[in-house]
């Protein structure tokens, strides 16, 4: 019923004329359709009956912004469709189906963004569903949060105060709730932009149905700027738990002290733009799924953007000994204003000391080399075609374990539109 109501509201907003005194509406949106072919670990290993993942995925989002009186704005983004092509198995709400990312084959209309923005106490107040982004994707990327944000500029520094409802359990079970509060500041110094975020997660991980983050502090700094012709970006996640990370199962996540950080440098050589980066993870540090590793097979899938090529993640869940490192370089060649070619190569080293996030036996690390090739072709300012191919090649073959990367490959191609 909720999906039907959202869908009807979106349709009504599109077709009903605005009455006198109604809000001014600005429309935007996104469309993408992607065909993909991704080998699974089992299919690459030649396991009997195992087949690659293959299909089509489509996204349609509409983004109306309603300008009200007194500089008050309602900002929204509605997912009209975000799913595989299901053919005749596609069903309506409440009917039985199969094969969709929602689990039942039904249409998955949902609210991605919906918040009110208004002047308040000399700053700006935002209340409602918002997208969280921080640390160039290392901390969070396009993650939908039920959030209250207050922003205020003081001199050259912008301060933020944030509250997130991270989990709402049963209404009469407060020990199932999860909350986050945060303070942040963004400023400029010496030609570099800097940001610092301090956050605290509170929940009861020992309660039935409780939130998995309990008494967890985080510090998340970043910088971005240029040193001569070289562009530099860097960010880090320092998490401070109230326990230990020796147990791979049970308890709350990031119970230990952990680190994740990256440094990225770039330089423009005319038609060729070159980037290089190092990502370091210690004791299962936090790396968001949307972080750009330069490989479409590793991370590069934000919370609200599906990547059918992804087969593994960097980052962990806060377990001691889960140490990882990535080295990567990427070059983008602009053939002309419309056509670009992209190539990347990198190395991943994983030193799990427990039966860990990468599924490796205790004490056995893995080492993988990846390469990616891709292109983009801009038809105009709004529409573009794209294609990507990637492969991960492991340097050892294990008798067991789900992450035996012996030539895992994936490819995708499609069309995007933004308006």
**Other CB atoms within 10 A of residue 26 CB:** 12
d(CA 35, CA 306) in angstroms, rounded, equals: 12
C-alpha–C-alpha distance, residues 292 and 211, integer Å: 28
Which of these, 376, 377, 267, lies nearest to 329 by C-alpha position? 267
Average pLDDT of every residue of the chain: 84
Q: What b/e readout covers 364-385, taking b as 16+ CB neighbours within 10 angstroms?
A: bbbebebbbbbbbebeeeeebe
C-alpha dist (Å) from residue 307 to 77, 116, 388: 20, 30, 11
Q: What is the pLDDT of residues 375-385, one digit of tens each?
A: 999 999 999 99
Q: pLDDT per residue over 94-135, tens digit each? A: 544 443 344 445 566 889 999 999 999 999 999 999 999 999
Contact 149, 297 (CB under 8 A): no
SS3 161: strand
Closest CA to 322 of 262, 290, 362, 291: 362
Backbone angles phi and psi of 281, in degrees to 5: -130, 130
* Alpha-helical runs (H) found in 288-393: none
Q: Using one digit for the tens of pLDDT, what is the confidence trace for 21-76?
A: 567 999 999 999 999 998 876 666 666 666 788 999 999 999 999 999 999 999 99
Quickly list DSSP for 392-414. Answer: EEES---SS-S---EEEEEEEEE
CA angle 170, 130, 116 (to 5 degrees): 100
What is the distance of C-alpha 290 from the center of its chain?
3
CA distance 245 to 258: 9
Please state the rounded mean pLDDT for residues 358-369.
Answer: 58
Burial call 47-72: b when 16+ CB within 10 Å, e when fewer: eeeeeeeeeebbbbbbbbbbeeeeee
Q: Which tokens hold the place of 192?
A: 């570099």
Q: What is the mean pLDDT of residues 176-182?
A: 92
Lowest-confidence segment of 34-38, 214-218, 242-246, 292-296 by average pLDDT = 242-246
Alpha-carbon span 247 to 393, nearest angstrom: 30
Closest CA to 62 of 47, 81, 37, 45: 81
Smallest CA-to-CA distance from 415 within 390, 394, 385, 387 is with: 385
Q: Does residue 233 surpass a pLDDT of 90?
A: yes
Instruction: Give me the pLDDT at residue 41, please.
Output: 67
The residue with greater pLDDT, 133 or 303, is: 133
The H or E element spanning position 8 is helix 2-15
Among 29-43, 63-77, 190-204, 341-355, name the one with the lowest average pLDDT.
341-355
Is the Cα dihedral 19, 11, 164, 306 positive or negative?
A: negative
In DSSP terms, which residues pair with 24 in a beta bridge?
A: 67
């Amino acid at each position: 019923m909720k999906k039907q109501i959202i869908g009807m509201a979106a349709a009504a907003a599109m077709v009903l004329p605005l009455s006198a005194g109604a809000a001014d509406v600005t429309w935007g949106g996104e469309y993408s359709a992607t065909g993909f072919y991704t080998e699974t670990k089992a299919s690459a290993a030649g396991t009997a009956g195992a087949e690659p993942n293959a299909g089509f995925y489509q996204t349609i989002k509409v983004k109306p912004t309603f300008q009200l009186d007194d500089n008050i704005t309602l900002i929204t983004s509605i997912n009209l469709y975000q799913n595989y092509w299901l053919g005749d198995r596609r069903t309506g709400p409440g009917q039985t189906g199969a094969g969709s990312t929602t689990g039942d084959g039904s249409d998955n209309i949902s609210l991605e963004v919906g918040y009110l923005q208004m002047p308040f106490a000399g700053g700006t107040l935002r209340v409602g569903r918002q997208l969280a982004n921080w640390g160039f994707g290392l901390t969070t990327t396009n993650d939908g949060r039920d959030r209250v944000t207050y922003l205020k500029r003081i001199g050259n520094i912008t301060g933020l105060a944030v509250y997130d409802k991270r989990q709402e359990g049963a209404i009469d079970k407060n020990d199932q709730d999860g909350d986050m509060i945060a303070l942040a500041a963004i400023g400029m110094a010496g030609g570099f932009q800097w940001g610092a975020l301090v956050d605290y997660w509170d929940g009861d991980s020992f309660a039935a149905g409780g939130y998995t983050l309990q008494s967890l502090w985080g510090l998340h700094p970043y910088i971005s700027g240029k040193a001569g012709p070289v562009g530099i970006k860097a960010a880090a996640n320092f998490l401070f738990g109230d326990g230990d990370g020796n147990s791979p199962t049970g308890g709350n996540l990031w119970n230990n002290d952990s680190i994740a950080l990256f440094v990225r440098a770039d330089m423009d050589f005319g038609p060729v733009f070159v980037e290089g980066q190092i990502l370091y993870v210690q004791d299962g540090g936090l790396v968001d799924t949307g972080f750009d590793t330069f490989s479409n097979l590793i991370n590069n899938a934000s919370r609200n953007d599906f990547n059918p090529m992804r087969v593994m993640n960097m980052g962990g869940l806060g377990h001691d000994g889960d140490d990882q490192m990535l080295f990567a370089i990427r070059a983008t060649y602009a053939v002309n204003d419309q056509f670009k070619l992209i190539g990347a190569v990198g190395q991943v080293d994983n030193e799990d000391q427990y039966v860990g996030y990468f599924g490796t036996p205790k004490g056995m690390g893995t080492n993988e080399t990846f390469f990616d090739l891709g292109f983009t072709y801009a038809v105009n300012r709004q529409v573009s075609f794209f294609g990507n191919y990637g492969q991960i090649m492991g340097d050892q073959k294990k008798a067991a374990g789900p992450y035996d990367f012996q030539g895992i490959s994936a490819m995708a191609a499609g069309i995007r539109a933004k308006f």
